[in-house]
Structure 1
């Protein structure tokens, strides 16, 4: 794989993913017990939006930059996301593990897994340099296979957990591996919150895969999507989404208030949809 998130940092997909991630963390933090957060494809942690990689793609300009320029007052989840971004150096965009680490409490625990050693070392440095409430022993990085952690690290000793799965979707067998890993994770940790990010392209194929995952479990499954272009059957990226198994209480209400705002401010076509659907509402 040659995926490099530095080309895509701060784009419309990051905006949706990170708004939802922080909303999930906040929802889980309503209970006093600590919880475990596993980030399976963590990346390098902090991205310089002035670097050649980011400038070449220009994706942040159509993502976080457009959101910051919005004139309407943002809903609470978006406002909290923008406050979280402001804690990082100007001109930089934090990845999921840094945002998660800053949103967690001292009683929570983070494990961020990254496959590429060089990237994993950069992540470890970034987390060390980021002010969080987490004690060092509760904020760990690992170089390895993130999907394998759904088998090796679940269930967590906290008995509560949020698993963020954010793959690059470059390998031909990746979707099969993801479905298998989620199945293994649910066998070990049926009450865990699993949040799977996915790009929206090849809509008919995507829908079959999402429905397959939903039908493999009797747990509640929520789809959260935002598109910047109308759906199409081809391979062009039109948006992104998260499939959330066992979403915490009121998370769906938060996203129902949030998605119209994100869609209005990020879409490139007035026909671009947003979506909030239960695939498995009764469990």
Structure 2
């Protein structure tokens, strides 16, 4: 599945991913010690929702624009991070994870970004010029392992690939297993698209076999029944989510479900623990 992000910026997957990422980082920042945040597939950093690629799909209408039209205070933090890169009341620009994470940094925190695609890496450097982020252009999985353990006491690795390669899930699984041996206490967030349940169930079984005690799966299915051959939603695997984050999940997930459910659909968003 090809998920080049410039075509999909601001869609329902972004609303869920970024809402949960903000909540996760805020929960970790309840402790004063420094935090390193690493984004292995950072993309361009910022996207034009009026650009040709975003307009071709129009997916922002069912994502960020719905979130901006919603009154739920549970989405206030998400809306504020998007509004921060826009001048008008309706978003024209969409911040990718790098720009959102940069907004969340405290003075003691560190942000490391990586993007292998040459054009996207160039755009990322330009988008992050006014921040303290370090930008790399390396193989994502090599960098993931090379940067562990983090130099700060605590850290988060965000893994958000386009799933263009057929072995993407296998590389994530293998790298996660190796990363756990170097950095067992670290927090890892893995984003994935949901196209069919069978593929996803097989991957969850493979991750279960890694024996990670604190492994959470969050799934957002847009439709009440599976729609074969099309994008059905997205989810996150999270290793070692902090307790403060898990306590906020039920109301936040319900707010996201209500906001993003397509017309005539209830939708489903839920979480479960996969650890032994």
TM, length-normalised to structure 1: 0.91
Structural mapping, 1:80-159, within 5 Å: 80-90=77-87, 91-129=92-130, 136=132, 139-159=133-153
Q: Note the alpha carbon deviations across 1:19-66, whole angstroms, 9 max, x for none.
A: 111111101111111011110100000101111111111000110001
Distance 1:26 1:207 in 2: 30
Q: Note the alpha carbon deviations across 1:185-233, whole angstroms, 9 max, x for none.
A: 1111000001100111220221120232133033211112222213527
Partner in structure 2 of residue 205 of structure 1: 199
How many residue pairs match? The answer is 271
Partner in structure 2 of residue 270 of structure 1: 265
Distance of aligned partners of 1:87 and 1:226 in 2 relative to their CA distance in 1, 3 Å threshold = same
Question: Segments of 4+ in structure 1 off by > 3 A?
Answer: none
Distance 1:34 1:217 in 2: 28
Distance 2:190 2:11 in 1: 18
Name stretches of at least 5 consecutive residues in structure 2 with no aligned partner.
Answer: none
Q: Note the alpha carbon deviations across 1:99-151, whole angstroms, 9 max, x for none.
A: 0011011111111100112211111111113xx5xxx3xx2000111121221
Q: CA deviation at 1:257?
A: 1.2
1:204 and 1:233 in contact (8 A); partners too: no
The answer to whether structure 1 residue 256 and structure 2 residue 250 are counterparts is yes
Partner in structure 2 of residue 73 of structure 1: 72
1:10 and 1:60 in contact (8 A); partners too: yes
Partner in structure 1 of residue 52 of structure 2: 52
1:225 and 1:240 in contact (8 A); partners too: yes
Q: CA deviation at 1:241?
A: 0.6
1:224 and 1:255 in contact (8 A); partners too: no
Partner in structure 2 of residue 225 of structure 1: 219
Superposition RMSD in Å? 1.7
1:6 and 1:54 in contact (8 A); partners too: yes
TM, length-normalised to structure 2: 0.93
Q: CA deviation at 1:97?
A: 0.6
